[in-house]
Chain A
């Protein structure tokens, strides 16, 4: 049995939960799980992996694809090369995985959310989950993967014994790319994570002029407005209103999504809401798979009708 090398994600002292998905798929694929992590006081269940490789370095080195690739290359060139190198499908995971694949000329499949052991088949999303492509590698070589968070964590199980630990030498900075600092989003008055009722708007609402009309509805409903990334990118709503992996994670009592398709980066930020209601004109929109209630229809018409009913008494 070969092993999978898992590149952990750590942020300011925290071992991120999404690492469990990488551990999970290694288990599913029948590989030993070797975890690569910077040295530090991270809270890890050492029974979940077979080996922990600690690197004498600071966390920011694990954000640098050039440096990490140098380290992984060394491990791969050694006698015991991994059969898989697994990253999270996250900002830094994607960056490192693709760079490593190019450097070493290895096959890469990203955003994996399903696996079929029989045939060694990996499922990856196309068109924001409208369909999935089933992939196999075509040559005998290590495979590089990024896995979607939430997909495999249930397969990260206790193995009943503590992982072996080793420490490898530190990494030093390089001139080609260097870390300066973390930059935190500005804190503003609104905090959508505190709202009980979010009215969340997506690209499907059409254009900026529609926003004030939704704000009126939000006022009538005593809801707080939030939105998907494109709506923020287009500056229809300010950044602090964004829900999703690169925005906020919210858990309101009710999440009413209008004109949002349900890409995983969005879903990851709202799936634990108590009640999800989706309005979308496409009956096949992926968001209906996560919603408790759905309406197939035009968001703007539904908005106007809701306003009429409320104001009509």
Chain B
């Protein structure tokens, strides 16, 4: 089974201050560390596991700036055969444009595959739409929130997808198809620095996003950034750790739970 996996390099903002700059036109990511999108890590692992079991190959593909090469190297270190960077120096916010470029890339380069994997969403824009859009555009079968692949049999996946509140549905889906992989489906393997260094020796092709972007027009436009509306907010316990903790215990006592 040949699998194309789309991976993205994203800013890890969880512990960082994220500032809006240029009168709301941009956000400042200059001091923020980057990493592979968490969901894509699970998608690569799932693809590699399948190929280890059934044969075939995994190709990792990323749309992004030249620095996205680091997520390709990571994907290769995890077991992808090779990597392709579709280089774009601009951030693409519109999932329709992103998916359209992937569609054109696949057609133009005559990419062969049995399945395309993406992560359910990327941590930065959380659109969760690229995989579905691509499948719709290509006329392929699609499933998202894939949390377990139970069987792969001639031309089909039997898999489970997550609904809500612990409920899942089991479905049968025909290949070729697009699957968006949910976090927790597997345990992504550990990647060592040595592994990444070795991966650097594997060839990564570089293509130009603009060659596949068609007219290049996004159909939606991000006009401005804003901070979340403040909702009243919490009463902050301040002072030394000792004082904070004593106050916390007081609150627990008042609430009758401690």
Interface residues of A (CB under 8 A from B): 11, 60, 63, 65-66, 69, 90-92, 94-111, 114, 121, 123-139, 141, 175-185, 196-197, 203-204, 221-223, 229-230, 232-235, 239, 245-249, 253-254, 256, 261, 274-278, 281-282, 284, 286, 288-297, 301-302, 305-306, 309-310
Contact = CB atoms under 8 A, between A and B. Distances in A.
The majority secondary structure among interface residues of chain A is mixed
Nearest to B11: A127
Nearest to A176: B141
Contacts of B192: none
Contacts of B160: 183
A214 to B, nearest CB: 15
B96 interface: yes
Best-surrounded residue of B160, B187, B219 (most CB of chain A within 10 A): B219
B54 interface: no
B234 A288 contact: yes
Contact of A309 (B163, B233, B234, B249): B249
Nearest to B185: A233
A218 B217 CA distance: 54
User: Which of the four size classes fits the interface of chain B?
Assistant: 35 or more
Contacts, number: 305
B213 to A, nearest CB: 15
Interface string B231-258: 1111111000110111011011001111
Contacts of A274: 255
Given A94-B144, A136-B223, A176-B174, A101 B96 contact: yes
19 contacts: A92-B163, A94-B144, A95-B180, A99-B136, A101-B96, A101-B136, A103-B139, A106-B219, A107-B219, A136-B223, A177-B173, A178-B173, A184-B168, A222-B257, A277-B248, A284-B18, A289-B228, A289-B232, A306-B248
B126 interface: yes
Nearest to A222: B258
A297 B241 CA distance: 8
B169 to A, nearest CB: 6
B172 A108 contact: no
Given A102-B136, A196-B257, A130 B18 contact: yes
A275 B255 contact: yes
B132 A95 contact: yes
Closest 5 CB pairs of A and B: A102-B136, A98-B132, A233-B184, A185-B166, A294-B234
A136 B219 CA distance: 9
B167 interface: yes
Contacts of B166: 184-185, 239, 246-248
